[in-house]
Amino acid sequence: MKRILVVDDEIGALTLIGIMLERGGFEVLKAKDADQALAVLELNTPDLIILDVMMPGMDGIELCRVLRERSDTAALPILILSARGDAKSVMSGMDAGASDYLPKPILHHDLVAKVRRMLDMGEADADLRASL
């Protein structure tokens, strides 16, 4: 079972995204802010990380940059899921190293399909690197 870390300071959103992913067949790890996410990562290595942008303290964009600098998370797929869907916010997320960026709110089947595609692409990349 693939493991997804979801980081969102809104408990309602964290719960809803968690339920969507669990119904999609994933194991879900949750964190309410960047500090808690980094603590979770000390004990677990997820297969994919979903970040909210607007969080107190370190926001999702900065957390994405931090995750890309760490050896254990540098190659993990990172999906930014945010209420900010304007071009500038999307570009900031992608420049920080996000694999993809989706606006909230999101429908259950859209989220699960996106996560599955991102995980499939990550496995294909790993297979390609292993064959070189």
Question: 6-25, pLDDT tens digit by residue?
Answer: 999 999 999 999 999 999 99
* Nearest to 56, CA basis, from 42, 69, 37: 37
Q: How far is CA 47 from CA 3, 50, 77, 101, 119, in A?
A: 5, 10, 7, 17, 7
* Nearest to 20, CA basis, from 58, 53, 47, 50: 50
Give the domain extent around 46.
Answer: 3-131
For residue 60, name the pLDDT band (cuts at 50, 70, 90).
Answer: very high
- Residue 58, pLDDT above cutoff 60: yes
Contact 121, 27 (CB under 8 A): no
Cis status of the peptide bond prior to 105, with omega within 30 of 0 = yes
3-7 and 27-31 beta bridge pairing: parallel
Overall domain count for the chain: 1
| pLDDT tens digits for range 72-124 | 999 999 999 988 878 888 899 999 999 999 988 888 889 999 999 999 876 65
Cα dihedral across residues 68, 104, 29, 38: positive or negative: positive
As a three-state string, the secondary structure of 2-45 is CEEEEECCCHHHHHHHHHHHHHCCCEEEEECCHHHHHHHHHHCC
- Residue 38, pLDDT above cutoff 60: yes
Q: Which residue has the higher pLDDT, 49 or 56?
A: 49
Here the CATH number for the domain that contains residue 46 is 3.40.50.2300
